[in-house]
Structure 1
Amino acid sequence: MRPLNDWVADLRERLDQGESVPWFDPASGGVEARSLFLLEAPGRKAVGSGAGLRRTGSGIISVDNNDPTAQNCWLLRREAGLAYEHSLHWNIVPWYLGTADRIAAAGRTDVQLAAPFLHEVISLLPKLEVVVPMGRSAQAGWAAYVARYAPAVRTLATWHPSPRGLASRPAARPEILRTMREVARLTVREDADPS
């Protein structure tokens, strides 16, 4: 995990973004992750007090955060049998977008500015096999990233796990679950002794 969070500390300095760029979750797969789940941008529950925000959350991107989207990710991951130590959660845009009162959607300019930083993260993940962009914004951002950098990974796109998204699309939850099961199938290996 240390290389990833050292990278966050460096990015905070380079961008002068403070705590609006959250840390990676030390309970996740870190640099050993075989799968990367990408959402759009950090929510208020994942950021600290940077960019004019008062501390509202954990300061890390985690399925253990106290918000409904994280809870949905946690439940779906558990139901799919996807061990957290094999995966990592992050965002197309790594910094909080919006004001202290309201989150903003990532625009094309945000995604373009963030692409080199996503490339830096992916370069720290030597075992990465599968990327799962979750939701239309993350999928558009990932498609732009792939067009520019052509990473040698498999893409499994699915819906955003927000409560609103799941409520408005009854087929979304089963589709996310199928995607997570496929990620588990592709990336989780037994480390048994072959003898």
Structure 2
Amino acid sequence: MTARLGAVRTEPRVRPLNDWVEKLRVRLGDGESVPWFDPASGGVAARSLFLLEAPGRKSMGAEAELRRTGSGIISVDNDDPTAQNCWTLRAETGLDYRESVHWNVVPWYLGTADRIAAPGRSEIQRAAPFLHEVIGMLPALEVVVAMGRKAQAGWAVYRERYAPEVHTLETWHPSPRVFASRPTARAEITDVLREAARLLERG
């Protein structure tokens, strides 16, 4: 992952997105931190977007005060169970990581050094214009998969404001807690991701 962190500003597919991240950090100007896009992903060439709610602690890097626990990148290769579930499900359903990108409806970390927090309505509303800027850098985008209720709420706010011309699919958040509490969640996510793969094949 160290080598990947070094490529966040040199890999052509993600350089525009990570230039944007750097500027967003300055624009926020209040100590909030936004992780980088993964250089191993599709970047600006992505045809599918996997949208979750907000960055987890394992995506927060050394530049985030008191949160030096992770890679600094939103990646399916992060050392946390949700990322691992995303990696496994994507691989099982034939979704090429080089044609996809993972992001969050709220791009900055929420919570404290010890505990993550879920986004509320105010954070979702505040973040919608920033998501619009990201979508504007994905000209090949065809499918958005909103994973979890908060991501779905954020995507609904975004769609109401900006009416993107993409296929929208909704499914469960791929966390171990969801899998443990809802025995059918994994199979339901798999079905949705297979539908995403079918839509991309037709496109």
Calculate the TM-score normalised by the size of structure 1.
0.93
Task: State the percentage of identical aligned residues.
Answer: 74
Figure out how many residues of one structure are paired with residues of the other and give that number: 190
Quote the offset at 1:17 in angstroms: 5.3
- SS of 2:139's equivalent in the other structure is coil
Pairwise CA RMSD of aligned residues? 1.5
CA contact (8 A) 2:60 2:72 kept: yes
Runs of 4+ in 1 over 4 A off after TM superposition: none
Q: 1:93 aligns with which of 106, 123, 138?
A: 106
Structure 2, unmatched stretches of 5+, are 1-13
Matches within 5 A, 1:1-195: 1-16=14-29, 20-49=33-62, 52-188=65-201
- SS of 1:48's equivalent in the other structure is coil
- SS of 2:71's equivalent in the other structure is coil
The letter for the 2-side match of 1:29 is: G
Quote the offset at 1:87 in angstroms: 0.6
Quote the offset at 1:54 in angstroms: 3.3
Structure 1, unmatched stretches of 5+, are 191-195
* CA pair 17-7 structure 1, distance change in 2 beyond 3 A: farther
State how far apart, in whole Å, the 2-side matches of 1:110 and 1:51 are: 19
Tell me the alpha carbon deviations over residues 37-85 of structure 1, each in whole angstroms, 9 at most, x when there is no partner.
0000000000124553231000000000000000000000011011101
Quote the offset at 1:187 in angstroms: 1.6
The letter for the 1-side match of 2:111 is: G
Calculate the TM-score normalised by the size of structure 2.
0.90
The letter for the 2-side match of 1:31 is: V
